[in-house]
Structure 1
């Protein structure tokens, strides 16, 4: 397979990311227009802000792309420290912004920063570096495996204090996925994984609202005007879309029927307006994007660039996990959980972090020798 590049960039990877950004721009412009007009007297309020976020994300990605992988390897601890510090800062009274009972945002002038999004990237960078430095310990000793698990536990506690159960699940799954791919002992991995799964279940049963979401997920029509309202309205949006959709701008569910129409449930509005084919287009773009990132990771591994490989694997796990959860929640496949759809949902921090992740993978691909390709093993 020949890698297509233009000016040192992996063209397929860049085009897939750009396509998702364009889908997000169109989807948010349509999904937010009535909400913005009602609350701000300007139907294009969120569309303009999202365009600003896209510009900021592109600028941040350009800076990240200019920095070599060696820089991220050497400073992984600093990013983890920064991410942890932001998670602590957002919990301080009078500093963090409380919305609907969750204290997840830091107000910065007219904008807000969501530390949990930054924490995902920080954990991936730190863990990729740790796996390179402590490869043998991670693969052979409990101590080498438990150290990153301890760091993960600290981040998890801070995320749950907000609380942000969705981000917690993504961080935990990503970290364990990276450890598994690094070759950790299966007995060590399964033991800690079992404990972690039991811990997550305990968190679900410990909070009544999480239990209610789980119950609602199994039968949303049991409480159609209460806990099941969001899911039912989302399913109605999918049903109205049929094969080709009702047309861009013609969604009914965005007219204050479906809450969070331009953020957590933007995929539902997109499916209503573009139908089954439009929904499959977005799923196809995400599948191709993640597959391309995994291809870069595999190339890096074959070339001996293990930091780039682990980092790319981590990015693929974050993007695929978050996309799967968001679209799964929208379609009723998973219990309701507030997670943005990467590159598509409205939200500045998420968009900037996603673009930075993509820039990291683009730079890793650029650094690889052109001859490094995974070879098929001959049949015995």
Structure 2
């Protein structure tokens, strides 16, 4: 696992600010404000809204339930890793309100998020698992449970699953450890490595609707992550060969969120539309930065984003968007009634990255009321890591 950790001046010690503390402060200050909106299908036919109280209560409850599920597999003395690489949890929840709620739950436990794409070729997923080392659990939505089950079956068969030897995956009867062990508590990693990760579905951790979460007590964080502790490990596309795990700490993530909110002018009245896939680190940045500002996260089913991005932005009254130029260009190419800046008067900031921005986008949007930002750069050299 590559240690790509650019702090950009952020504190890295135990007392450094964490996203958990920033989000908690906003939830406590404005518990009734909207924190999360999910657009139903078809467009305009229903919307799910979570308040900050509901969001915080649901994530805290999920964190507690997840600890209860994972805890019996570990001794009490090492339930939370004493080191900068904590327990790692795989995430195969690709969309929906469960995605950001569970990401926050993992961070609340001072554990590290490792997103896994069930649509990726099995060989690439195996490479990621080889590098990430043993996971305590994999959170998986119902649509992808079979893919996760097959992945775990491959971990038990060693060579037949495509691993180079019985130690490669980090899950082995002889307690073989992945290279990630050098970054954390080997006692924890060894205990996890001797067992396959638990498969946990969102319904086991979260309420089925926000109204149920609102009845929960407004809780203080049970665990306070150290700034030096790892918050997430996102993997590059592997275009140069092998996917590389980019390691980010809680201090790095908090510094990014604060800097992004200042640069993009995200605040209490902002509605930030999250268009990135859960394996693309700007998605986590959008979720946590928005909640650290007191703004509202807006989401829509991914299957409609390609053809109806503009309509989604208008329906949700989005003020901010971070996506790729290719995805953003679908607005102008769309057959819907939303094709340009004039159709999105509420949109304030559009940040484009991941690839070069076209001149057509610049010509159409840079002279409009929208503030157009270019955030293109290689993964290893950007603030996301």
TM-score norm. by structure 1 comes to 0.24
Higher relative contact order (CA 8 A, sep 6+): 1
TM-score norm. by structure 2 comes to 0.24
Higher strand residue share:
2
Higher helix residue share:
1
